[in-house]
Structure 1
Amino acid sequence: MTSQTKPGSCCTPDGSRGTAATGDVQAGTTTVYKVTGMTCGHCEGAVSAEISAISGVGSVQAVAATGLVTVTSTNPLDDEVVRAAVDEAGYELAGRI
């Protein structure tokens, strides 16, 4: 077995798979968080799914290569709620950027 991933895998080398963009937020707040421990598309998907479940979140874009997670929501989010979601996904919220 080789270490290469198959096309369409959640863990593509460019990290393009696994991010989630959900909802349709017309206007709101965009916040960028630093999350440690993400290494692949699967990680991005796990973080995105947990944050997307927070009430008021319209879209989430997680990028493992930078550790940045951009969240658009209808209102500002409580950092402790975001921290709990990131913890639930198995990663650590380092803070806002």
Structure 2
Amino acid sequence: MKLIVDNMSCDHCVKAVTKAINDIDPKASVSVDLAKKEVTIDGGTISQEAAIKAVDDAGYQFVAISF
């Protein structure tokens, strides 16, 4: 799953978003592309809704699903 997330600009943002996802699903592999504002989540069992909520709760703004 790929999420477009606004308000990410640095390594701290990458760590915060990764931690938010992994706190819900430790088996999920998370990668963040700051230039594209894209969060890619592979593996694990986290739902799209849970991932969006985790990102929002971490203080970042979910924008859209990327295909």
TM-score tier (shorter): 0.7 to 0.9
Query: 1:49 maps to which residue?
Result: 19
What is the RMSD of the two structures over their aligned residues, measured on CA atoms?
Answer: 1.6
Superposed CA deviations along residues 30-87 of structure 1, whole A, max 9, x for unmatched, are x111111101111111011101122364210012221001101234x42221111001
Q: SS state of the match for residue 66, structure 1?
A: coil
Q: Whose strand fraction is larger, Structure 1's or Structure 2's?
A: 2
Q: TM-score, normalised by structure 1?
A: 0.59
Q: Whose helix fraction is larger, Structure 1's or Structure 2's?
A: 2
1:16-95 equivalence runs, <5 A: 31-55=1-25, 57-75=27-45, 77-95=46-64
- The number of residue pairs the alignment matches comes to 66
Larger Rg: 1
Moved more, 78-87 or 49-58: 49-58
Query: 1:18 maps to which residue?
Result: none
Greater relative CO (CA pairs within 8 A, separation 6+)? 2
Q: TM-score, normalised by structure 2?
A: 0.81
Rate the CA distance shift 1:52–1:73 in 2: closer, same or farther, 3 A. same
| Runs (5+) with no aligned partner, structure 1 | 1-30
Q: Percent identity?
A: 32
